[in-house]
Structure 1
C-alpha cells in the first residue's frame, strides 16, 4: 500500500511538472512578442527608430486597422512577421500603450 501511494505521488508530481513547463514555453505576452519582432524598427520605448512611433495607437487607428497593418504590412514594413494569433496579442497590447 505504501508503495502504491509513493507511485501515485510521483506520478502527480511528474504530471504537474509537465503541464507547467509547456504553458511557460508556449505562451507569450504582447510585450515579449513586440520585443521579439517589432522593437528593432519601432524602438524599445515605442517612439520609433527606422520605423514610426507606435505610441497612442488607439488615438490614431482602430484595433482592426492596427491588426491589418501588422498582418499585411504597410509601406516599408513587411507583413506576416507574426502569426495571426501573435498579431492579435500585439495589437491588443499596443492599443493599451
Structure 2
C-alpha cells in the first residue's frame, strides 16, 4: 500500500512539473519560431533540410496570407503547429525579417 501511495505522489509531482514547463514556453515571435519552426526553416531563417528560407516574407505575402499559410500548412509543412495567438506573433515577427 505504501508503494502505491508513493507511486501516486511521484506521478502527481511529475505531471505538475510537465504542465508547468509547458506554461513557461516562449511567448514571443522569435522564441516560438526557434522552438517550433527552426528545425525545418533554420535558426538563421535561411532554410534547412526540410523547409525553405523564410527571409523577406513581406515581399511575398501579406501578414494575413502568411498567417493563413502557417495555419493551414502548405506542401510538406503541416498546419496548426501553433495556436492562433502564437501564429500571429510568429507571422508578425517574420514580416520584419
Q: Which protein has the bigger helix share? A: 1
1:67 counterpart = 2:45 = no
Q: CA RMSD in A?
A: 1.5
| SS of residue matched to 1:89 | helix
- In 1, the alpha carbon distance for the partners of 2:34 and 2:25 equals 16
- Give 1 or 2 for the bigger CA radius of gyration: 1
Say if 1:36 and 1:26 are closer, same or farther in 2 by CA, change over 3 A.
closer
User: Number of residues paired by the alignment?
Assistant: 74
1:84 paired residue number: 84
2-structure distance, mates of 1:60, 1:86: 21
Structure 1 gaps, min length 5:
1-23
Report whether the alignment pairs 1:94 with 2:94: yes
Gaps of 5+ in 2: 1-22
For residues 25-36 of structure 1, the aligned pairs below 5 Å read 25=24, 28-36=27-35
Deviation at 1:27, TM superposition (A): 6.2
User: Following the alignment from structure 2 to structure 1, what is the Cα–Cα distance between the partners of residues 81 and 31?
Assistant: 14
1:55 aligns to what SS in structure 2?
Answer: coil
